[in-house]
Amino acid sequence: MADFAAPRKSLGQNFLQDPNIIRKIVDSLAVKATDTVLEIGPGRGALTELLLPLAAHLHLVEFDRDLVQYWASRNETNLTVHGADILQFDLTPVLSNVDSIKVIGNLPYNISSPVLFHLLQYADRIASQVVMLQKEVVDRMAAQPGSKQYGRLSVMLQQRYHIESLFTVPATAFFPPPKVESAIARLTPLDRILHPVASHADFAAMVKQAFSMRRKTLRNNLKPMLNATQISALEIDPSARAETLTVAEFAALANAFSTQQS
């Protein structure tokens, strides 16, 4: 057994300890012997030890230098260790020799939404993502228009993925226990994008702008991008608030903006 340093709070280090939950999380990714898997934040290896014998190749992205050193010293033939911040990590080299990869991670909670946004740029090449996050964030990912939880994260993810909230994980399953309840989500790219957008960058900018001030109307929030007449032309009420709009309506707004730019 390796002699690990004390868990680092600043890196969101809450290590999973419950073998049944660990097995359930790994099973949710349905790893095949031909799969390349990328794990975000392996830590002491709760998930990693089960993934190693399953995957054709396993990539680890870990920020903690001691843990990077530990995983590098394991000299496993199907393992590549990347000492990096996942938010800065370019997945292109990992994707270079394969059609797609699967991603898994018990994410550090302080950066969980930014990680999901970062991975969005590779959405077409990630066959499945299984992530553990704060339950509250999973609720936001899957939220529907009109609910309090519905926001930028819900719209951005639902345009690209089928989102499943699989099960919750109590704080007692970790060492040290976190202060919040956790949940497992699985994100699968939609076979057919129901609401296509001409430009993902314009869509992202539109959603961000629409939610920039939650209490304000679309007419006010969208001023830098579209005026009230342009919004009405899409049969969207300019005095509505972003939290009531469907993904289809956000796609229509973004596409109108893209057309105006071209």
- Footprint on this chain of ligand SAM (rule: CB under 6 A): 11-16, 40-44, 46-47, 61-64, 67, 85-87, 106, 108, 111
Query: CA 84 to CA 101: how far, in whole Å?
Result: 18
* Closest separation in Å from C-beta 95 to ligand SAM: 18
Q: Determine contact, residues 207/261, Cβ cutoff 8 Å.
A: no
How many Cα neighbours within 13 Å face the side chain of 107?
27
* Closest separation in Å from C-beta 86 to ligand SAM: 4
According to the annotation, is 220 in a ligand binding site? no
* Closest separation in Å from C-beta 87 to ligand SAM: 6
First to last CA, the chain: 60
According to the annotation, is 85 in a ligand binding site? yes
Which residues are CB-contacts of 96 (< 8 A; sequence separation ≥ 6)?
A: none
According to the annotation, is 75 in a ligand binding site? no
Query: CA 138 to CA 64: how far, in whole Å?
Result: 25
Which residues are CB-contacts of 249 (< 8 A; sequence separation ≥ 6)?
A: 234, 236
Query: CA 168 to CA 51: how far, in whole Å?
Result: 21
According to the annotation, is 243 in a ligand binding site? no
* Closest separation in Å from C-beta 10 to ligand SAM: 8
Q: Determine contact, residues 239/217, Cβ cutoff 8 Å.
A: yes
CA quadruple 180, 45, 124, 258: dihedral sign? positive
Which residue's Cβ lies closest to ligand SAM? 41
Residue (47 or 119) nearer to ligand SAM, CB? 47
Residue (95 or 228) nearer to ligand SAM, CB? 95
Residue (111 or 204) nearer to ligand SAM, CB? 111
* Closest separation in Å from C-beta 224 to ligand SAM: 32
Residue (36 or 106) nearer to ligand SAM, CB? 106
According to the annotation, is 191 in a ligand binding site? no
Residue (86 or 218) nearer to ligand SAM, CB? 86
According to the annotation, is 54 in a ligand binding site? no
As annotated, the binding site for S-adenosyl-L-methionine includes 14, 16, 41, 62, 85, 106
